[in-house]
């Protein structure tokens, strides 16, 4: 079930990104953003590496182990995404 839900979200993302690229959807409401991505995090009490790898194989962006502090999880996800964006934007400079 975890894989199926993730697959459906990623499939929808691809369709929307394709529509952006073909000009079928106006980017006026989205600013200059031409890539649409929904972060998917699993919540689990399991903290072993195999669980993390299974989440990644399903197409998730990461997982949060319970118990957790909501602010810590949001902060980590936000900083990870920002770091990835900066690496992508400045990959030719470094």
The CA R_g of the chain, rounded to the nearest whole Å, is: 16
Domain of residue 71: give its range: 2-89
Within a domain: 12: yes
Residue 61 lies in a domain: yes
Q: Check if the beta carbon of residue 82 is closer than 8 Å to that of residue 70.
A: no
Q: Specify if 73 maps to a domain.
A: yes
Q: What is the pTM of this model?
A: 0.41
Residue 15 is assigned to a structural domain of this protein? yes
Q: So what's the pLDDT on residue 61?
A: 78
Question: Is position 52 within any domain?
Answer: yes
Q: Please report whether residue 94 resides in a domain.
A: no
Number of domain units in the chain: 1
For the stretch 20-78, pLDDT in tens is: 666 666 656 555 555 566 677 777 777 788 877 887 887 787 777 777 676 677 777 77
């Amino acid at each position: 079930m975890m894989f199926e839900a993730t697959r459906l979200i990623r499939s929808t993302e691809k369709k929307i990104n394709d529509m952006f690229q073909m000009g079928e959807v106006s980017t006026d409401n989205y600013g200059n953003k031409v890539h649409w991505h929904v972060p998917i995090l699993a919540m689990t009490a399991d903290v072993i590496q195999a669980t993390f790898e299974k989440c990644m194989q399903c197409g998730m962006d990461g997982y949060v182990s319970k118990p957790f502090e909501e602010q810590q999880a949001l902060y980590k996800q936000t900083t990870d995404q920002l770091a990835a964006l900066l690496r992508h934007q400045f990959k030719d400079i470094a």
